[in-house]
Structure 1
Amino acid sequence: MHAIFVREYGGPEVMAWTEFPDPEPGAGEALVRLGAAGVNFMDVGVRTGPLPAWSLPTVLGVEGMGRVTAVGDGVRDLAVGDRVAWYYHKGSYAELLAIPAASLVKVPDDVDDETAAAVMMQGLTASHLITDTYAVKPGDTAVVHAAAGGVGLMLTQMIKARGGTVIGLVSQEEKAAVAKEAGADHVLVSSGGGFEERVRELTGGEGAHVVYDGGGPATLRSSHLALRTHGVHAYYGVLMGDMLLNPRDMPNSILMSYPVVGDHVRTRGALVRHSGEIFDLIRTGRVAARIGARYALADAASAHADIESRGTTGKLLLVP
């Protein structure tokens, strides 16, 4: 089998299409033939690194879906032929993977392969943000950064499904229509800060209940100022850079949160439950995956170049 292998940090050119022996499932594992792998900014961070808990050399990728081709000893709830998906397994840019069965969820028959591959990481991230981080209620107003991106599109749809109002931020005018199509009530074009006054205008001077911010230090101050008293700033992502934060500079008694999706699915039961909730939203038409582009797995370097350009929308997929 082949996989995308990285031996040294660098640009997309360090990603090598490399042949490896076919893996075999160990005890508690399932062997899965990849159907599609999701591309995430985390993958870029691993390649350009270093990132905590990752080291080189490595096979890139953390997310995808496929079919079970064999199971190891002790696996009882999966069988050969099952369609499965996962949100975090290192080395997912590979044609064959041996994955712990506890990390896999079955994909419903009426959810297609590409959708299943597209919604695990970003869908679970959005689920965490709108529930455990700040439980969106009918009438709440949320500011969503990068509203035309993978997480942003998931967030927008899930917030609307819970009765909230979405003010979406996009970096380019041409992305505004994508955010609007996902259900954003208002879309502001902003490549950095400076959006807080418009948010306050749209909220009658009160500010938003929550800001979902994957934008990094450049947007930190504006995100704070866009919040109402006791509003929540959910600051997520792994590639945002370091920041200096003086609590005395935080206005309006706001609350700061750094949500990590792993805390949303700390147990097998939580993973099955929350992924099932996402699949139900898809099956009932309240959430749809927007596939921004598809690439051959062997051409993963092109996908990385495109996502780093910040010109993409939706979810990028790699297909064997």
Structure 2
Amino acid sequence: MKAIRIERYGDADVLQRQEVPVPQPGPGEALVKVAFAGINFMDVHTRQGKYETSRTYPVRLPLTLGMEGAGAVEAVGPGTNRVQPGDRVAWCISWGSYADFAVVPVERLAIVPDELDLDLAAASIFQGSTAHYLTHDVGRLGPGSTCLIHAASGGIGQLLIQFAKRLGTTVFATTSSEEKADVARRHGADHVFLYDGGRFADKVREATDGRGVDVVFDAVGKPTLRDSFRATRIRGLVVNYGSVGGSLKDLDPIELGEAGSLFLTRPRLADHLADAETVQRRADDVFRGLLDGSLSIEITGRYGFDEVEKGLAALEERRQIGKAVLDLRA
């Protein structure tokens, strides 16, 4: 089978197209014929080596890239009965989807309803599950609450807006351009600002009569995090769930006190997908929303097997609005 693999960390030139044997599922695993793979910043970070020593995401070299996908179960390992050959499934936080076949732990698999296209399943399970746990479990949004969402035109940002609005929250959003601001508004954001060198915080304060928002969802990191503190109310919550703009490495906890006794958390999805039931529950909520129209995700990039570099480059250069997928059906 064909696969996109890396044997060392680095830039795009470390990507290798290889012919490798079809893997075989062991106990608690399933072999899936991959139809679509999601293209995510986690793939860029994997290639760069950011998970080289991670305990949450213990992915090690050499490896096949791709941590999100959808397809049909081809075979199951010994003693596995949760899924059967022919089942339509999607998964995330299990590496190896940039290939014709992937072996996936069955506890990571979610059954995809027949009515939902597999490209949408592949495009939504990682970012949808992320937005779901951030809004429901970490941010605990509800009627009357307020939140600020950075990178609001991206795949996770779009879904964060939609989940927050479904929960009755007033949504403030930031983007890097007016084009992206229009995307955030189209998905339901109440107030949208450009980052403007951190001056978004002043605009949020002004729009909330000086109070600030209850929760900030910040996936950007270094360029925005301290200004996120300024945009947050006293005893509010800042959720730093990513660092696509780089990590803030000189933070003194006293800054949180000075900013208003803030709470700061750095969650990871893996800790909020503790078992198969939780995986399916979050996926079901996302898939139902896509089917009934209460959620939408824009697949704005579709790439073939030989175009992986192009898809990853669009992410790294911040040119990607919405979600991109790798089509492996050919």
SS in 2 for 1:270: helix
Q: Which residue in 2 is equivalent to 1:110?
A: 115
TM-score normalised according to structure 1 size: 0.96
| Cα distance in 2, alignment partners of residues 264 and 198 from structure 1 | 33
Distance in 2 (CA, whole Å) between partners of 1:77 and 1:48 is 34
Which of 285, 293, 296 aligns to 2:301? It is: 293
Q: Deviations over 1:267-298 (max 9, x none)?
A: 22211212212222222211112112000123
What's the RMSD between the two structures over aligned residues?
1.5
C-alpha distance in structure 2 between counterparts of 1:273 and 1:312, whole Å: 29
Question: Structure 1: any 5+ residue segments left out of the alignment?
Answer: none
Q: Is the 8 A contact 2:221 2:243 kept in 1?
A: no
Q: Which runs of no fewer than 5 residues in structure 2 stay unpaired?
A: none
Task: Name the amino acid aligned to 2:318.
Answer: R
Q: 1:191, CA displacement in angstroms?
A: 5.8
Tell me whether 1:86 sits opposite 2:91 in the alignment.
yes
Give aligned-pair identity as a percent: 40
Q: Which residue of 1 aligns with 2:11?
A: 11
> Is the contact between residue 222 and residue 243 of structure 2 (CA under 8 Å) also seen in structure 1?
no
Q: Which amino acid aligns with 2:74?
A: T
Partner of 2:314: 306
C-alpha spacing 1:32/1:227, structure 2 compared with 1 (3 Å): same
The amino acid across from 2:23 in the alignment is P
Aligned partner of 1:258 in structure 2 is 266
Q: Deviations over 1:237-291 (max 9, x none)?
A: 2654242222222211211111111121112221121221222222221111211
1:181 aligns with 2:186: yes
> Quick one: distance in 2 between partners of 1:34 and 1:112?
13
Deviation at 1:44, TM superposition (A): 0.5
Q: Quick one: distance in 2 between partners of 1:270 and 1:303?
A: 30
* Structure 1 consecutive aligned stretches of length 4 or more whose deviation exceeds 3 Å: none
Aligned length: 320
- In structure 2, do the counterparts of structure 1 residues 25 and 54 end up closer, same or farther at CA, with 3 Å as the change threshold? closer
Name 1:137's counterpart in structure 2.
Answer: 142
Q: Does 1:120 align with 2:125?
A: yes
Once the two structures are superposed, what CA deviation does each residue of 1:14-63 show, in whole Å capped at 9, x if it has no partner? 21111001122222222111111011111111112242233322211111
Question: Which stretch shows the higher mean deviation, 146-155 or 270-279?
Answer: 270-279
Structure 2 equivalent of residue 40 of structure 1: 40
CA distance in 2, matches of 1:143, 1:85: 29
Report the Cα distance in structure 2 between the residues aligned to 1:213 and 1:256, rounded to whole angstroms: 11
CA distance in 2, matches of 1:292, 1:149: 10
Give the Cα separation in 1 of the matches to 2:107 and 2:267.
23
Q: CA deviation at 1:90?
A: 1.3
> Aligned partners of 1:119, 1:82: CA distance in 2, in Å?
18
SS of 1:217's partner is: coil
SS at match of 1:218: coil
Task: Work out whether residues 86 and 120 of structure 1, in 8 Å CA contact, stay in contact via their aligned partners in 2.
Answer: yes
**Residue 74 (structure 2) aligned to one of 66, 69, 78:** 69
| Contact 1:4/1:298 (8 A) holds in 2 | no
Kindly indicate whether the alpha-carbon contact (under 8 Å) linking 1:292 and 1:314 is maintained by their aligned counterparts in 2.
yes
CA distance in 2, matches of 1:268, 1:22: 25
TM-score, length basis structure 2: 0.93
Q: Return the letter of the residue paired with 2:27.
A: A
Report the AA paired with residue 112 of structure 2.
V
Equivalent pair of 1:172/1:191 in contact (CA under 8 Å): no
2:252 is aligned, of 242, 246, 253, to 246
- Is 1:38–1:64's contact at 8 Å kept on the other side of the alignment? yes
Cα distance, 1:91–1:191 mapped onto 2, change above 3 Å: farther
| Contact 2:37 2:327 (8 Å CA) reproduced | yes
Deviations 1:95-148 (A, max 9, x none): 101222222110011221111001111111111111221110112111000000
- Going from structure 1 to structure 2, the CA distance change for 1:133 and 1:192 (only over 3 Å counts) comes to farther
